[in-house]
Chain A
Amino acid sequence: MGKLFAIVVVIIALVSAGFIVAHVWWLPTPISTIAPGIDGQFNETMWFTGALFLSSQFVLAFFVWTSREGKDRKSKYWPGGPWPLVGFAIVVVGMEILTLTFVGSKVWAAVYMTPPDPDSMQVDVAAEQFAFNFRYPGPDGKFGTIHPEKIRDGNGNFFGLDPENDVAARDDVIVGTLTVPVNKPVSLTLHSKDMIHSFYVPELRIQQDIVPGLNVPLHFTATKVGSYEIVCTQLCGLGHYSMRSFLQVLPQDQFDQWLKTQ
C-alpha cells in the first residue's frame, strides 16, 4: 500500500510539473514596460516553489515507500531531532522570503508607487454594470467635472458631464474602447459609479480594482501594437462575465488620426 502511494505521488508530481515546464498554458506575451520585471519575479518564484514542490513530494514518496510494519522492525527517528529541521526551514525559506521581498518590492513599487510620467497621456475611465467607458480631455487638455446626478446611460452621459455650464466638458471625447499610442506613458484615473469593478489586462500584467467613491490612479506604457482585452475581475453582478472592453495600441500617427476622427 505504501509503495502504491509513493508511485501515485511521484506520478502526480511529475505530471503536474510537466505542464508547467512545457508552458502548455502560460502567461500571454507581455506588452508593457513593467511586464518584464513582473515576469522575472514570477519565474524566480516558479523555480523556487517548483523545486520545493518536487523535492518535498519526492521525499514524502520515498519515506512512505520505505516505511512498513514488520514484527521485528523498530521505528527509526529522524537523526538530530526536530531542531535542525526548524533551522533549515528558517534559513532556506527565510532567505527566499528576503530575496523575493527585496526584488518584488521594487517591481511592485515600479507599478504602483512611482508617480506617472508628467508628459503622460491622461485618460479617465468610468466603470459601471457592465461596461467600461473612456474619456479623453479633448483639445483643451481639461476634463469636465463629474456630476453623479447627471449620469444617464440612455443618452450616453456615462461621466455625468454638464456641457451647458462647464466649458471643459464640451470637448471631452467619450469612447468605449481604450485607444493609446505605443510607447507613450498613459495615466488612467479609474472611477466607478455603482459597484466595485476591476481593470485587468493580462498582457499588461496589471489588475486594479475600481472602487466607487475613490479616484484610483493607474499608469502604464504599452510597448506593442495590437488589440487586447480589458476584462472586469471583481464580481459586480449578473453580467460580470460579459463586462469587457478593448485596449487598442496604435502607432503614434495612427493614434493621432484616430483621435481626430472622434
Chain B
Amino acid sequence: MSTPDPTIHQHAAPTGFIRKHVFSLDHKVIGRQYYDLALVAVFLGLLLSWLMRIHLGWMNAPIPLLGKLFPSGAPGNVMTPDLYLSLMTMHATIMVFFVLTTAPFAAFGNYVLPIQVGAEDMAFPHFNMMSFWVTFLAFLVLISSFFVGDGPPLAGWTSYAPLSSVGAVAGPGQGTGQTLWAVSIAIFCIGQLLGSLNFITTTLDLRTKGMSLARLPLSTWAWFVTSVIGLLAFAVLLPACVLLILDRTAGTSFFGPTGLVVNDTVLPYSGGSPLLWQHLFWFFGHPEVYIAILPGFGIISTVLPAFARKRLLGHQVMIGCMVSIGFLSYMVWGHHMFVSGMNPFSALMFSVPTLIITIPATIAVLMWLGTVYGARMRYTTASLFCLGFISVFITGGLSGFFLAQPSLDTYLHATYFVVAHFHFVMAIAAMFGIFAGTHFWFPKMYGRMMNETLGKWHFWLTFLGVYCVFMPMHYLGLAGNVRRYAAFTDNYLVPLIPLHKFITMAALFVGATQFIFFFNFFWSRFRGPKAPDNPWDATTLEWSTTSPPPFDNFGGRHLVVHHGPELYGVEGAANDYVMQVSPEQVDAR
C-alpha cells in the first residue's frame, strides 16, 4: 500500500466548457460519458432486437418505415434475410462491446473505483480521457456501417472467417461493412486496454492510507480482476482484428485456406486456417463473458449488504471466487469449438475446466443466498435488482452444465438453447447488475434521487418479462431450433413458430418497459429530489463525500480508512453501520 503524493495527482479544476464536459480528465465526467454512451448503445441494440423479433414471429409482415431506413434491405417494408442477419450482427456487437463492457466496467468502474480507493483521480487521467474518446470513435465507426453501400456486416458478432475475411464476394454486408466492423473492434480494444491499465494502476498505487487490499470493497475488487482479464483478452482481439483487416485488404492468408472457391472462382489464398480466427476470437471471447459479468458480481456483493443490513457472507471467499473465475476463463475457450473440427481430444481438455468454473460460480451464489438469509432487507429498487440478479444468474448458469459437455453440445450447439444460456447469464444478469448499480450510485453520480415507484414497476415488469422471453428459448433449443436463421422453413421448425410469436410479444413488452427506466433516469437526472450525501446508510468511501463529489472527490481531505467495507448491523455502534473512514472502535468480527 502506498500513500499518494498529493502534489503529483492534483490537477486544477478546468473552467472552460470543453475541458469540463467534453474532453475532461475527470474520472467522474468520463464515467458519466461512458454511461451515456452505453445508454445510446443499449437503446439502439434494443430497437434492433425488436425488429429481429418481429421478423422471427411474423416473417413476411411489413414493418412500417423499415423500407425508408433500409431501402435495399427491406423492399416493401418486408425484411430480407440479409438485413435480418445484419441487424442480428449489429445487435450483438453493440450489446456485447458497447453496453455490457462499457456500462458495468468502464462507466461504473471509472466513476466509483477511484473514489472507493480514496484517490483524487485515476492514475493516468490523459489515458483515461483517450480511452473514452477512442471507444466513442469505435462506436461511430461501427454505426457508420449502416450507411455504406452494401449495408452493415452479417457475419455475426463472432465474425467467423472465411465469411468475414474474403470480402464482398461472400455476400451483401461483407464488403465495406465488415471492414468497418473489424476496424471498429480494433479501435475499441485500444480504448479498453488503456482503461484496464488505468484501473489496475489506480487500484494498486493510489489507495489512501489504511485502504489495504483486504479492505477494498468487492466492487473495486471486481473491476480490478476484470481489468486484468481485459488487459489480456483485448490484447489478443486487437491483433486478431488487425490480421482480419490484412486478410481483407492486403491480400494476406491468415484465415483463408488453399483452394477456397466462391462463385466458381478459386480465391488467391493459401495456407491459412479458418480455425485460427476461432481460436483467437474465443481466447478473447470467453474471458469477455466474465468482463461482462464479474462487475455484476462486485456490484451485487457491494449493494446487497447495504440493503440486507448485514455483512456479506464470505468476503474473502467472494474475492477467491472472482480471482479463480478470472484465472479459469483463459483455459476454456475451446468449449465454443467442440464441433468446429478441432481435434476431438481437445474437447475433453476444454470440457473439464469449463465444468470446474461452475464451482466458484456456485460458491458465489451460495454466498449471496447466505447473505439474504436472516437479513433485515430494505426493499428498494436496487435491492430488488440484486435479488433478481441471483435468480437469473442461477437460471443462466445451470444451462452451462449442458453446454460444457461436448457429448451434449453436439446436439445443442448453435441452437436457441445457447441463445437462452448466454442471454440469461451474461446479458440479463449483467443488465440486472447495471440496474442495481444505477439505482445505488445514481444519487452520487448526479446528485439527485431516482423515483422508487417507477423503479419498482420497472423491476417487476422486467423480471417477469425476461423469463417470458428467454426461458422458452431453452425449449426451442431442446427441439433443435437452429439460431441465426432469418426464417424457419424447415419442416421440423415450422411447428415452433407459435412459440417464437410468444417470445416476440414478450420481447416487445420487456423492451417497452425499459422506457420506464429511460424516463426515470432522465427525469431524475434533471428534476429528481436532491440527494443527501449517504442516502442508503452505506459504508464505502464514495458515501463519505458530497453528492456529487467535488472535483478532487474529497474536497482536499486525505481520508484514512479504519475498517473493512461491509460493517452493517454492527452491535454497539452509534448507528447500525460503521463507515470505512469512521475512527469508531468496534468489534469487527
Question: A: which residues have CB within 8 A of B?
Answer: 1-2, 5, 8-9, 12, 16, 19-20, 24-28, 37-38, 41-42, 45-46, 48-49, 52-53, 56-57, 59-60, 63-64, 66-70, 73-78, 81-83, 85-86, 88-90, 93-94, 96-97, 100-101, 104-105, 107-109, 111-113, 128-129, 148-149, 151-154, 160, 193-196, 198, 200, 202, 205-214, 216, 229, 231-242, 244
Q: Which one, A77, A82, A154, contacts B264 given CB within 8 A?
A: A154
- C-alpha spacing A243/B493, complex, angstroms: 13
B273 at the interface (CB under 8 A from A): yes
Contact with A along B384-399 (1 / 0, CB 8 A): 1001001100110011
B422 at the interface (CB under 8 A from A): no
Contact in complex: A16, B362 (CB < 8 Å): no
Q: Which bracket fits the contact residues of B?
A: 35 or more
Taking CB atoms, residues of chain B closer than 8 Å to A88 are: 366
Other than A60-B390, A85-B366, A239-B81, give 13 A-B pairs with Cβ distance below 8 A.
A19-B475, A24-B475, A45-B401, A86-B366, A104-B406, A109-B344, A193-B260, A202-B411, A229-B490, A229-B491, A233-B413, A240-B85, A244-B490
- C-alpha spacing A148/B413, complex, angstroms: 30
CB distance from B71 to the nearest CB of A (A): 17
Contact in complex: A56, B369 (CB < 8 Å): yes
Taking CB atoms, residues of chain A closer than 8 Å to B275 are: 211, 214
Contact in complex: A235, B484 (CB < 8 Å): yes
Taking CB atoms, residues of chain A closer than 8 Å to B402 are: 42, 45-46, 49
Contact with A along B552-564 (1 / 0, CB 8 A): 0000000000000
Taking CB atoms, residues of chain A closer than 8 Å to B464 are: 8, 12
26 A-B residue pairs with CB within 8 Å: A5-B387, A8-B463, A19-B475, A20-B474, A60-B394, A74-B569, A75-B568, A75-B569, A78-B313, A78-B373, A85-B363, A86-B314, A86-B366, A100-B401, A104-B351, A105-B351, A108-B347, A148-B259, A194-B170, A205-B411, A207-B414, A210-B341, A212-B257, A214-B341, A235-B85, A241-B486
Taking CB atoms, residues of chain A closer than 8 Å to B482 are: 200, 231-233, 241
Contact in complex: B379, A89 (CB < 8 Å): no
Q: Which one, B162, B262, B377, B491, contacts A69 given CB within 8 A?
A: B377
CB distance from B368 to the nearest CB of A (A): 9
Contact in complex: A108, B406 (CB < 8 Å): yes
Contact in complex: A82, B314 (CB < 8 Å): yes
Stretch at the interface among B34-42, B220-228, B353-361: B353-361
- C-alpha spacing A129/B174, complex, angstroms: 14
B376 at the interface (CB under 8 A from A): yes
Taking CB atoms, residues of chain A closer than 8 Å to B262 are: 129, 193-194
- C-alpha spacing A174/B275, complex, angstroms: 28
Stretch at the interface among B3-11, B113-121, B153-161: B153-161
CB distance from A81 to the nearest CB of B (A): 7
CB distance from B526 to the nearest CB of A (A): 28
Taking CB atoms, residues of chain A closer than 8 Å to B313 are: 77-78, 81-82, 85
Contact in complex: B374, A28 (CB < 8 Å): no
- C-alpha spacing A100/B482, complex, angstroms: 25
Taking CB atoms, residues of chain A closer than 8 Å to B569 are: 74-75
Taking CB atoms, residues of chain B closer than 8 Å to A83 are: 314, 317
- C-alpha spacing A152/B174, complex, angstroms: 23
B348 at the interface (CB under 8 A from A): yes
Name which residue of chain B comes closest to A6, CB basis.
Answer: B387
Contact in complex: B376, A73 (CB < 8 Å): yes
Contact in complex: A38, B411 (CB < 8 Å): yes
Question: B: which residues have CB within 8 A of A?
Answer: 80-82, 85, 154-156, 160, 162-163, 170-172, 174, 257-262, 264, 266, 272-275, 308-311, 313-314, 317, 339-341, 344-345, 347-348, 351-352, 355-356, 358-359, 362-363, 365-367, 369-370, 372-379, 384, 387, 390-391, 394-395, 398-399, 401-402, 405-408, 410-411, 413-415, 456, 460, 463-464, 467, 471-472, 474-476, 478-480, 482-492, 496, 499, 568-569, 571
Given contacts A207-B413, A209-B340, contact A238 B171 (CB under 8 A): yes
Top 4 nearest A-B pairs by Cβ distance?
A213-B257, A76-B374, A82-B314, A202-B480
Name which residue of chain B comes closest to A191, CB basis.
Answer: B259
Taking CB atoms, residues of chain B closer than 8 Å to A48 are: 401
CB distance from B61 to the nearest CB of A (A): 17
Contact in complex: A1, B384 (CB < 8 Å): yes
Taking CB atoms, residues of chain B closer than 8 Å to A12 are: 391, 464, 467, 471
- C-alpha spacing A235/B492, complex, angstroms: 19
Contact in complex: B355, A100 (CB < 8 Å): yes
Contact in complex: B260, A194 (CB < 8 Å): yes
**Most-contacted residue by chain A among B80, B170, B488 (CB, 10 A):** B170
Taking CB atoms, residues of chain B closer than 8 Å to A208 are: 339, 341, 410
Name which residue of chain B comes closest to A199, CB basis.
Answer: B339
Taking CB atoms, residues of chain B closer than 8 Å to A45 are: 401-402, 405, 408
- C-alpha spacing A213/B261, complex, angstroms: 11
Q: Which one, A68, A113, A234, contacts B377 given CB within 8 A?
A: A68
Contact in complex: A112, B314 (CB < 8 Å): no
Taking CB atoms, residues of chain A closer than 8 Å to B362 are: 89, 93
Contact in complex: B310, A75 (CB < 8 Å): yes
Taking CB atoms, residues of chain A closer than 8 Å to B460 are: 8
Taking CB atoms, residues of chain B closer than 8 Å to A96 are: 401
Taking CB atoms, residues of chain A closer than 8 Å to B474 are: 20
Contact in complex: B273, A213 (CB < 8 Å): yes
Contact in complex: A207, B373 (CB < 8 Å): no
Taking CB atoms, residues of chain B closer than 8 Å to A240 are: 81, 85, 484-486
CB distance from A186 to the nearest CB of B (A): 17
Given contacts A27-B478, A94-B359, A229-B491, contact A198 B309 (CB under 8 A): no
CB distance from A46 to the nearest CB of B (A): 8
CB distance from B248 to the nearest CB of A (A): 15
- C-alpha spacing A42/B103, complex, angstroms: 36
Contact in complex: B314, A235 (CB < 8 Å): no
Contact in complex: A64, B359 (CB < 8 Å): no
- C-alpha spacing A235/B266, complex, angstroms: 21
Given contacts A75-B309, A100-B355, contact A148 B261 (CB under 8 A): yes
